[in-house]
Amino acid sequence: MNSKSHKILKYSGYFFLALIVFFTFYPFLFMLITSFKSLFQFYHIFWRPAWPLHFENYREVLPIIAPYIWNSVLVTVVSVTGIVFLGALSGFIFARFHFPGKKLLFYAVISLMMVPWILTLIPSFMVVKRLNLLDTYWVMILPYISGGQVLAIYIFHSFFVTLPEELFESARMDGWGYFQQFWHIGAALSKPVIGLVAIVSSLAVWNNFIWPLVTTTDEKITVLTVGVMRFQSSFSFGSMNYGELFAGYTLASLPLLIIFLFAVKQFMRGITAGALKG
């Protein structure tokens, strides 16, 4: 291949990569641009930015969306904390302890990853209904914690099993108990893995729509995914203000964008730390 053909191939690759990046980010850019438009600007200046910017769209929408964001943050933080702690502790037990039936129990837990979550929807609903948890924060938090254990246990187990036994032998010689070994050795060395599990779990909890939709009707505990749907349905077809609607979408997407910007490095560290070694 001569130099000219190599350059053509090289720049063609750059061009197609640029197209992929453009079509990936343009929907978010379009949403952001539209959120500052009036209804007149939306219909007459559809594709490009318009002047003046209408910040009142955000002033109108923020009091509506803010409670939904707070509820989602609360549910996500508590759920992810439970997922990480219990998943790390269980993964440590499976990796470092020896007891009868350990392998059978571990593979039984991991096999739950093959069960589609939608099959558990009705049984889970019946359980929380019997426990009188409907329309409470716990109806979301407890199932999220239990449902997130399978992947968390698998990831933490894959990491803890690679740690040298000498670390724990010396700790036992110093009189450390099992929980001290977990906390001061296992948890201390698994910070990148904790970050990985926290990120994956946060995205799963934050984006869940079906479960809070069927288990909550109280507006005071409505999370963002359901709240945005109800916010959109509050506009009638003939009087829909697209500027306010897209302002609501933008506010709803900001927390995930912030998580991505601050956690992408931690996500890569978790992968390179061997968290996904099988």
Beta carbons within 10 angstroms of residue 100's beta carbon: 7
* Residue 71, pLDDT score: 94
Weakest mean pLDDT among 76-80, 117-121, 223-227, 273-277: 273-277
* Residue 126, pLDDT score: 94
Q: Answer whether 256's CB lies under 8 Å from 204's CB.
A: no
Confidence bin at 278 (pLDDT 50/70/90):
very low
Sign of CA dihedral 262, 263, 264, 269: positive
* Residue 238, pLDDT score: 60
Q: Answer whether 140's CB lies under 8 Å from 211's CB.
A: yes
Report for 78-82, 110-114, 272-276: range of highest mean pLDDT: 78-82
Higher pLDDT, 137 or 3: 137
* pLDDT tens by residue, 146-199: 999 999 999 999 889 888 888 888 888 888 888 888 888 888 888 888 888 988
Beta carbons within 10 angstroms of residue 28's beta carbon: 13
Report helix, strand or coil for 164: coil
What are the start-end ranges of the E strands in 71-227? none
Contacting residues for 151 by C-beta, under 8 A, at least 6 apart: 87, 113, 197, 200, 201
**Interval 132-147 mean pLDDT:** 93
Rounded distance, CA 153 to CA 44, Å? Answer: 54
Sign of CA dihedral 246, 249, 254, 257: negative
CA geometry: angle 132, 137, 138, nearest 5 deg:
55
**Full set of structural domains in the chain with CATH:** 57-272 (1.10.3720.10)
First-residue to last-residue Cα distance in the chain: 41
Weakest mean pLDDT among 50-64, 195-209, 221-235, 264-278: 264-278
**Interval 60-87 mean pLDDT:** 93
**Interval 192-218 mean pLDDT:** 90
Residue 269 has pLDDT above 70, yes or no: no
Question: How distant, in Å, are the alpha carbons of 85, 116, 142 from that of 82?
Answer: 5, 22, 9
Confidence bin at 276 (pLDDT 50/70/90):
very low
Q: Which residue has the tokens 């990569």?
A: 17
**Interval 129-150 mean pLDDT:** 93
Rounded distance, CA 32 to CA 55, Å? Answer: 12
* pLDDT tens by residue, 40-72: 888 887 777 778 888 888 888 889 889 999 999
Rounded distance, CA 155 to CA 84, Å? Answer: 11
* Residue 149, pLDDT score: 92
Mean pLDDT of the residues in the chain: 85
Q: Which residue has the tokens 């409505």?
A: 222
Q: Answer whether 241's CB lies under 8 Å from 173's CB.
A: no
* pLDDT tens by residue, 231-252: 878 776 666 778 888 888 888 8
HEC readout, 114-148: HCCHHHHHHHHHHHHHHCCCCCCCHHHHHHHHHHC
Q: Answer whether 225's CB lies under 8 Å from 212's CB.
A: yes
Torsion of CA 73, 193, 259, 136, to 10 degrees: -10
Q: Answer whether 120's CB lies under 8 Å from 146's CB.
A: no
Question: How distant, in Å, are the alpha carbons of 57, 251, 253 from that of 243?
Answer: 6, 12, 15
Confidence bin at 275 (pLDDT 50/70/90):
very low
**pTM (predicted TM-score):** 0.82
